[in-house]
Amino acid sequence: MSEVKKELLYTGKAKDVYKTDKDDEVIIKFRDDITALDGGRRDTLSKKGAYNALISAKLFEVLEEHGISTQYIKLEEPDEMRTQALEMIPLEVICRNIATGSLLRKYPFHKNQELNPPIIQFDYKNDVYHDPMLNDDIITALEITTQKQLDQIREITYVINKVLSRYLKERNLILVDFKIEFGLDKDGNIVLGDEISPDTTRLWDSKTLDNFDKDIFRKGEEGVVEAYKKVVELVLTDEEIEKWNVDKL
């Protein structure tokens, strides 16, 4: 990272945000830290940051090709993404195609029940309140977004789900569910931000239904980084894998 990039603006659970020479661009550095269970389990897993950045960059590129605006500009290093600066909206937008995880704990869905149409849920990104689930009225009453912005976020999320589900299915992965975050650019447009990686999605092998995502870590099992690497290999092209020297990171 060059000297001008070094001013840290924000540090999160698994990523840091740095200033750049341009006011409207930031660098997101993906760290190797991993947390789960509301911070109750944490570890540092070598190369995880780079794998997540490579996967996020690729999926943002795919979404851009399908007309979705994302904050992604380019990867500067395998674990450093240059992005457009956004004013982030404190919503965790969760989209589900299959019932698993907290949905099974909280509601009487059948295990692995197919959800068609997919379920979109909004959680408040707020550690003090432990990310409570919101509805439209709470979101607008708290002035997190307007109803119009929320409707737009819902529509964009459906499209993202369609595009990514198809892209991943062609690579033998089922997109079970995922969490995304949006922000506003300087003109007030809603833009996809943050990341889309095995930390923030559930990805299952199409045949075996094995996890290739953070559920491995949540369950306290071995092989987290190996699974993330497998996703890199499935999602990137051979040329991209060679360009980023994935085997020697």
- Distant-in-sequence contacts of 43-50, Cβ < 8 A, 24+ apart: 43/217, 45/224, 45/225, 46/225, 47/225, 47/228, 47/229, 47/249, 48/224, 48/225, 48/228, 49/14, 49/79, 50/78, 50/79, 50/244, 50/249
Distances 132 to 135, 140, 191 between C-alpha atoms, Å:
10, 15, 23
List Cβ neighbours of 194 (8 Å cut-off, separation of 6 or more).
88, 180, 181, 200
Beta-sheet pairing, 114-124 with 173-184? unpaired
Q: Which is nearer to ligand CDP, 228 or 244 (CB)?
A: 228
Q: Which is nearer to ligand CDP, 165 or 201 (CB)?
A: 201
Total length of the chain: 249
Please, what is the minimum distance in Å from the beta carbon of residue 139 to ligand CDP? Answer: 17
Q: Which is nearer to ligand CDP, 5 or 179 (CB)?
A: 179
Please, what is the minimum distance in Å from the beta carbon of residue 158 to ligand CDP? Answer: 16
Give the CB-nearest residue to ligand CDP. 101
Asked if 77 contacts 243 with a C-beta cutoff of 8 angstroms, the reply is no
Please, what is the minimum distance in Å from the beta carbon of residue 101 to ligand CDP? Answer: 3
Q: Which is nearer to ligand CDP, 79 or 123 (CB)?
A: 123
Residue with tokens 């912005």: 149
Q: Which is nearer to ligand CDP, 20 or 165 (CB)?
A: 165
Please, what is the minimum distance in Å from the beta carbon of residue 249 to ligand CDP? Answer: 23
Beta-sheet pairing, 114-124 with 72-77? unpaired
| Footprint of ligand CDP (CB under 6 A) | 92, 94, 101-103, 131, 177-179, 200-202, 214
Please, what is the minimum distance in Å from the beta carbon of residue 140 to ligand CDP? Answer: 22
Q: Which is nearer to ligand CDP, 192 or 244 (CB)?
A: 192
Please, what is the minimum distance in Å from the beta carbon of residue 223 to ligand CDP? Answer: 17
